Amino acid sequence: MKKVAIYVCGEVSKKCTANGCLRTFNQKEDSFRRYEEVGCQLVGFNNCNGCEENPVESLKVKIEKFKKTDVDKVHLSTCIRGRCDHYEEFAKEFAKYFDVIGYTHGSDNGKKNNNININKYIIFE
């Protein structure tokens, strides 16, 4: 069983219920389809500190907490992929410690086809 964390946009989280991320996690759809056979447990759900803070700097504390819960994979939320200028930085920083999946729900290519092309860091299946 894989231990999964979802990392969402702090700005979007002020008005989002996380329904898309949680629905697809619970139903093993979209980016979570990869766990149908092996199973998964959601052990972390967190957000960045928002655009006005230094969102990449705040990852250090969150990475340590994810490590304590033995996270295997971090899914960057679809809202981060679609809206955040720090998407690639987040992916690279998380990838130092975890496998990174570049989205949660919707198409693996995204509306803007804006998945990062750093295949050794991010897993797209």
Q: Which CATH code, of 1.20.120, 3.30.1890, 3.90.550, 3.40.50, is assigned to 2-101?
A: 3.40.50
Q: What is the pLDDT of residue 58?
A: 83
Q: Would you state the pLDDT for residue 67?
A: 97
The 10s digit of each residue's pLDDT in 32-76 is 999 999 999 999 999 988 887 787 888 999 999 999 999 999 999
- CA neighbours closer than 13 Å in the CB half-sphere of residue 64: 4
pTM confidence score: 0.87
Task: Indicate the pairing of strand 99-101 with strand 73-76.
Answer: parallel
User: Which residues are CB-contacts of 9 (< 8 A; sequence separation ≥ 6)?
Assistant: 47, 48, 77, 79, 80, 83, 84
Residue pLDDT, tens place only, 88-107: 899 999 999 999 999 999 88
Residue 100: strand, helix, or coil: strand
